[in-house]
Amino acid sequence: MNLKAMFITSVLVYISISLPAILGIGYVIDWVPEATWYQKFIEYLIEGLLNNILIKTIIASLVGIVVSLVIPKRRYSK
């Protein structure tokens, strides 16, 4: 099992699953008029990454494990 491939794949899958929430799709945050662009960006980023964290972590881990098990088999099958 390739741990590097598993870790990189898990991180990429987690970020791609979080992307719609990071972009603000599916929920609305009420902002005060004085909120800066940076404050809004950080809040959307944090909210997107932490929204449904358990489900996203399980999915990303499973995909990472599958990819890390498939990659070595593909190298030797040629």
Q: What is the pLDDT of residue 41?
A: 87
Q: Would you say residue 77 has pLDDT above 60?
A: no
> pTM for the whole thing?
0.80
Q: What is the pLDDT of residue 76?
A: 56
The DSSP secondary structure of the chain, one letter per residue, reads: --HHHHHHHHHHHHHHHHHHHHTTTT------TT--HHHHHHHHHHHHHHTTHHHHHHHHHHHHHHHHHHHHHHHHT-
Confidence of residue 69 (pLDDT cuts 50, 70, 90): confident
Rounded alpha-carbon distances, angstroms, from residue 51 to 4, 25, 78: 26, 12, 42
Q: What is the pLDDT of residue 63?
A: 95
pLDDT tens per residue across span 7-56: 999 999 999 999 988 887 777 777 778 888 898 888 889 989 998 999 99
Q: Which residue has the tokens 């990472």?
A: 64
